[in-house]
Structure 1
Amino acid sequence: MTTSKLQALWNHPAGPKTIHFWAPTFKWGISIANIADFSKPPEKLSYPQQIAVTCTGVIWSRYSTVITPKNWNLFSVNVAMAGTGIYQLSRKIRQDYFSDGEPEVATE
């Protein structure tokens, strides 16, 4: 049974023998980098970058559900991108618009 599932994955039109597999697989690096930035102070985050990550995730998540063949790797990486982008944007917005007191000045 396991062999047949691996063979089905290998021969899938969006499987490892195609760019339709490898492009989304490498795109996971963006989501992983965004997760690594969760520990970064919100004032160091960029609105344009996080908006781009969020919009890319939302748009391509939708696209991956309407194309044939279904590419669940593409769908999952873009859901992760949208989720991490939304989280980072929420951190930045809370810092910029809803924090109490004076903004802290970063010293280096």
Structure 2
Amino acid sequence: MAAAVKALNAKIRSNKYLDYFCSTHFWGPASNFGIPLAAVADMSKDPEIISGRMTLSLSLYSAVFMRYSLAVTPKNYLLFGCHFINCSSQIVQGYRFLNYWNFGGRELAEKGKEAAKAVELKGKEAASAVQEKAQQVVGK
């Protein structure tokens, strides 16, 4: 059994693509890609739920590991790409956080919600008026 495992390992290591696919240089960044995917998905959510501290720490974490990915030998461009996407996403999230909490975005969002309620109310009034007219026409 040990000889079969050793032969399989030698076969994998002899092919540079399989060797890369079976290494931590591939699987580390591949498993880490969940963080930037979550950050990109969070960009469409309400900025009220963004944590400023977590956004800052994830931005710094990604910046450090972007540097690390180019400092190791051989350079790990997949890890660099993963952290570049995450750092960029976290910077956008940080902008959304600051805009919402510090630069008047919250007030604009509240005004927008009030305007949406007013439009909805006017729409309901118009719909009921149309329904009344339709009943009058059908009743005649």
> Under a length normalisation based on structure 1, what TM-score does the superposition of the two structures give?
0.79
- The 5 Å alignment of 1:9-24 reads 9-11=17-19, 15-24=20-29
Farther off after superposition, 49-58 or 89-98: 49-58
After superposition, the Cα gap between the structure-2 partners of 1:103 and 1:39, relative to the gap in structure 1 and judged at 3 Å, is closer
Deviation at 1:55, TM superposition (A): 0.9
- In the alignment, structure 1 segments of 5+ residues that lack a partner are 1-6
Q: Which runs of 5+ in 2 are unaligned?
A: 1-14, 111-140
Shift of 1:102: 7.7
Q: Percent identity?
A: 29
Shift of 1:41: 0.9
User: 1:28 aligned to 26, 33, 36, which one?
Assistant: 33
Q: What TM-score, normalized to structure 2? A: 0.62
> Counting helix residues as a fraction of each chain, which structure ranks higher?
2
Deviations 1:5-60 (A, max 9, x none): xx54333xxx2111221011011111111111111111110112211221111110
Cα RMSD for the two superposed structures: 1.7
- Quick check: which has more Rg, 1 or 2? 2
Distance in 1, matches of 2:99 and 2:88, equals: 17
Q: How does 1:29-44 map to 2 (within 5 A)?
A: 29-44=34-49
Aligned residue pair count: 95
Aligned letter for 1:24? P
Moved runs in structure 1, 4+ residues, more than 6 A?
none
